[in-house]
Amino acid sequence: MSRLVCRSTHAGLRCVGVPRPLRIASPCVAYLPRTRSYATEKKDPGSSFQGQMLESISSRIAREKAEREKFAKQQQETAGTRRWATTFVILAAAGGSYFLGTLAPRDVDPASTLPLALTRDPKYKNDKANLEAAWADFAAIVGKENVSTVDSDLETHANSDWSSYRSKENEKPFMVVYPSSTEEVSEIMKICHSRRIPVVGYSGGTSLEGHFTPTRGGICVDFRRMDKIIALHKEDLDVVVQPAVGWELLNEELGKDNLFFPPDPGPGAQIGGMIGTGCSGTNAYRYGTMREWVLSLTVVLADGTIIKTRQRPRKSSAGYDLTKLFIGSEGTLGLVTEATLKLTTKPASTSVAVCGFGTIRQAADCVANVVGQGVPVAAVEILDDEQMKCINQAGMTSKQWKEVPTLFFKFSGTERGVKEQIQIVQEMARITGSKSFEFARSETEKAELWSARKEALWSTMSVAKPGEKVWTGDVAVPMSRLPLLIEETKDDMKKSGMYGTIVGHVGDGNFHSK
């Protein structure tokens, strides 16, 4: 068997010793031209696998870049449309929610009050720059002469010798402002509201229990320039006054027309302070407290808004009783700049009686009997034995008093009615153990007998030793509990080691310890 050997010559092939297949007729040479052509053909770099791959990557990168540019352009073109669409969707959803809420409103939360522990103190701006800027604003309203930063003025508007509560040095007002009208007060309050400056009103300053004492600094609004009786309506039995009118001066003026304003707290008290504290007084048993004698108020609110609580007619069934809301609010709801007060006619006859007892319990029992029997006395006051000692020691009255628990009665009405009242009270005092009973027979004697009651506080202060302070307390209880409470209070004061006296408007279950 022959073999064919193919050997390479130059670029060609030559077969050597390879047997030729029997069933193939074509010689081996027939395949050589194609084989040779592949081996000798010149290669194109672009047609190689590496070139084709690079070309494919480049085209893909170019295509992706073009797509990104196209997408960015589309985004830029549709951004505004999308924003408007989003806004519309949000507004539509809000409107729909509101509408659905009106169809099915939520029940009111029954816990509508905020627990005291969760309340937050208001934030004030008492920095020097803010207050100095406010000074210029106030001076433009009331004049520089009516804005004071003098230390003595600041001290008298922050503390008093007779007040139980004293402000600290950093709690005193930065300045005192003296307005002369409701409009000026309104402008002052607008400035304080915008600058967040705390305000304390001041009218009379006779409070014993710290009503005018500042605790947050800021400013003090003193009403002493607003002291006018604006209008007296004799036929209607009312009078319109400004807050710095004193009750004593008012009654002097009213007395000329046989009129009378009953509330009578301590000497020097003024209408604004009397309204702010809802004061009582020695006439409270017969005539009631300040709440019963105020018809309407003009008030400046914290933001400077001016309101009038009601009109002058006595009867009104309309709306809330805003007048009584402000009485006793101590300036926390607004500043009273004008008040319409009810008046009554002066009684035809008055008298005063004084009776002493062996014990404070006997005196209190006598009061309970007088009140329980409905005897129409005008006033009844109690002073214990220690208080009577202070009055004698101070020498503030022309009379030397028995140093025993004492009741002071005031009677008013017709001449016959007054005599009848005196007889009834004298008999009741005798039954409960009175040791003495004397009544006034003239105006001079009335003033003398009643003088001890009006000098009670000042006499107690006068016997205080250097460095000692007077601390007053005000207690009101049902009449049935008054005798026991007075006894227990005196016992507690003795056990404490402190010296104390008792005086009070016991006709309505109220007394003071000091």
Measured CA distances, 80 to 55, 59, 77, 87, 89 (Å): 40, 34, 7, 11, 14
Per-residue pLDDT at 49 exceeds 80: no
- CA 450, CA 448: separation in Å to the nearest integer? 6
Place of tokens 């000098």: 455
* % the chain with pLDDT above 90: 38
Per-residue pLDDT at 34 exceeds 60: no
Domain ranges of the chain: 4-33, 128-222, 229-315+322-345, 349-513
Q: Which of 16-30, 44-58, 217-231 has the lowest mean pLDDT?
A: 16-30
What pLDDT score was predicted for residue 132? Answer: 94
Q: Phi first, then psi: what are they for 50, rounded to 5°?
A: -65, -40
Class of domain 128-222: alpha beta
What pLDDT score was predicted for residue 14? Answer: 43
Most confidently modeled range among 13-17, 51-55, 57-61, 196-200: 196-200
What pLDDT score was predicted for residue 430? Answer: 92
Per-residue pLDDT at 19 exceeds 60: no
Cβ atoms of residues 319 and 336 within 8 Å: no
Q: Is the pTM of this model over 0.85?
A: no
Per-residue pLDDT at 43 exceeds 60: no
229-315+322-345 CATH choice from 3.30.465.10, 1.20.1250.20, 3.40.50.261, 3.40.50.300 = 3.30.465.10
Task: Name the token pair of 143.
Answer: 């004049």
214-230 average pLDDT score: 95
Task: Name the token pair of 50.
Answer: 């590496």
- 458-504, pLDDT tens digit by residue? 888 888 888 787 888 888 888 778 888 888 888 888 888 888 888 88
Measured CA distances, 240 to 233, 317, 453 (Å): 8, 22, 30
How many angstroms separate the first and last alpha carbons of the chain?
151
Half-sphere exposure of 14 (CA within 13 A, CB side): 5
What residues does 218 pair with on adjacent strands?
Answer: none
- CA 171, CA 169: separation in Å to the nearest integer? 5
- CA 149, CA 507: separation in Å to the nearest integer? 44
What pLDDT score was predicted for residue 112? Answer: 65
Tell me if residue 66 falls in helix, strand or coil: helix
Helix (H) or strand (E) holding 475: strand 473-476
Cβ atoms of residues 262 and 283 within 8 Å: yes
- 442-453, pLDDT tens digit by residue? 788 788 878 787
- 397-409, pLDDT tens digit by residue? 888 889 999 999 9
CATH architecture of 349-513: 2-Layer Sandwich (3.30)
Per-residue pLDDT at 229 exceeds 80: yes
Half-sphere exposure of 40 (CA within 13 A, CB side): 12
- 365-386, pLDDT tens digit by residue? 898 888 888 888 988 888 889 8
User: What is the DSSP secondary-structure string of 180-238?
Assistant: -SHHHHHHHHHHHHHHT--EEEESS---SS-TT--SS-SEEEE-TT---EEEEETTTTE
Q: Which residue has the higher pLDDT, 308 or 46?
A: 308
Per-residue pLDDT at 226 exceeds 90: yes
Place of tokens 């000091």: 514
Tell me if residue 115 falls in helix, strand or coil: coil
Per-residue pLDDT at 200 exceeds 50: yes
> Which amino acid, residue 211?
H
- 82-132, pLDDT tens digit by residue? 777 788 888 888 888 888 777 776 666 666 677 778 788 888 999 999 999
